[in-house]
Amino acid sequence: EAGVAQSPRYKIIEKRQSVAFWCNPISGHATLYWYQQILGQGPKLLIQFQNNGVVDDSQLPKDRFSAERLKGVDSTLKIQPAKLEDSAVYLCASSSGTISYEQYFGPGTRLTVT
Amino acid sequence: GDSVTQMEGPVTLSEEAFLTINCTYTATGYPSLFWYVQYPGEGLQLLLKATKADDKGSNKGFEATYRKETTSFHLEKGSVQVSDSAVYFCALSANSGGSNYKLTFGKGTLLTVNP
């Protein structure tokens, strides 16, 4: 069974530029999560989708971050414009239901904002 | 709100040494507790879990017991190997409304095992 795929693996941009990350979850997994992991900290949930609907986006900075999962499969997370403090690893995870301990994580995208 | 506090690293051990990584939590209600591991260059993997008080989770020689009275979930292994070198995250899952469960992570503990 293929795991959660993410791309790109690394991205370097200048502040005020925009960037997008892509995630393809495990086939059949209805729930998809985006996390932000700042160096030295644990992952923080940004947004959770159930199929193509948003379940929780309470910690998503909506003035600059957006995410979509149009067909209930893959998802994109966008930052526009980026700030220095957005430098982090962005993790995508998926699960087959709403019980969170069944989450499977992708390798992450490391973003550096200069 | 919910929070997880885990032992700060880095932790450096020799092969075959005993490992303990402390983890305590604060949560309303009755959370489930987890340890995740992140090997270099890889995503997080679930290592073990416990869903109710006094449960013991175990996997790959690692163990942790859900202690409600001390709100703790310490990770232990009797004899570590070089291949155990990784970052370990303690986490809890609590109901955040309806059927939605939200994972809250600790900051992670870097373990390095030397031969």
> DSSP string of B63-114?
EEE-BTTTTB--EEESS--GGG-EEEEEEEEEE-STT-EEEEE---EEEEEE
> Given a cut of 70, is residue A1 above it in pLDDT?
no
Say what percent of chain A tops pLDDT 70: 95
Best mutation target, A100, A102, A109, to test chain B (most B CBs within 10 A): A100
Q: How far apart are CA B24 and CA A1, in angstroms?
A: 34
Q: Does A53 touch chain B (CB under 8 A)?
A: no
Q: Please list every residue in chain A whose beta carbon sits closer than 8 Å to the beta carbon of residue B89.
A: 42-43
CA angle A45, A46, A48 (to 5 degrees): 80
Nearest Cα of chain B lies from the Cα of A15 at a distance, in angstroms, of 26
Report the pLDDT value the prediction gives residue B62, as an integer from 0 to 100.
98
Residue A84 amino acid letter? L
pLDDT band at A70 (very low <50, low <70, confident <90, very high): confident
Report the pLDDT value the prediction gives residue B99, as an integer from 0 to 100.
56
Report the pLDDT value the prediction gives residue B106, as an integer from 0 to 100.
95
Candidates A105, A111, A97; CA nearest to A49 is: A97
Best mutation target, A103, A104, A109, A110, to test chain B (most B CBs within 10 A): A103
Q: Please list every residue in chain A whose beta carbon sits closer than 8 Å to the beta carbon of residue B32.
A: 101
Task: Write the pLDDT tens digit of every residue in B44-87.
Answer: 999 999 998 999 999 999 999 999 999 999 999 999 999 999 99
Task: Write the pLDDT tens digit of every residue in B19-46.
Answer: 999 999 999 878 899 999 999 888 899 9
Strand partners, A21: A77
Q: Does A40 touch chain B (CB under 8 A)?
A: yes
Q: How far apart are CA A88 and CA B49, in angstroms?
A: 27
Report the pLDDT value the prediction gives residue B105, as an integer from 0 to 100.
94
| Residues whose CB is less than 8 angstroms from the CB of residue A107 and which lie 6 or more positions away in sequence, other chains included | A6, A9, B41, B42, B43
Inter-chain residue contact B102 with A91, CB threshold 8 Å: no
Report the pLDDT value the prediction gives residue A99, as an integer from 0 to 100.
60
Q: How far apart are CA A59 and CA A61, in angstroms?
A: 6
Residue A95 amino acid letter? S
Task: Write the pLDDT tens digit of every residue in A77-99.
Answer: 999 999 999 999 999 999 886 56
Report the pLDDT value the prediction gives residue A91, as an integer from 0 to 100.
96
Give the chain A residue whose CA is nearest to the CA of B106. A42
Report the pLDDT value the prediction gives residue A101, as an integer from 0 to 100.
62
3-state secondary structure at position B13: strand
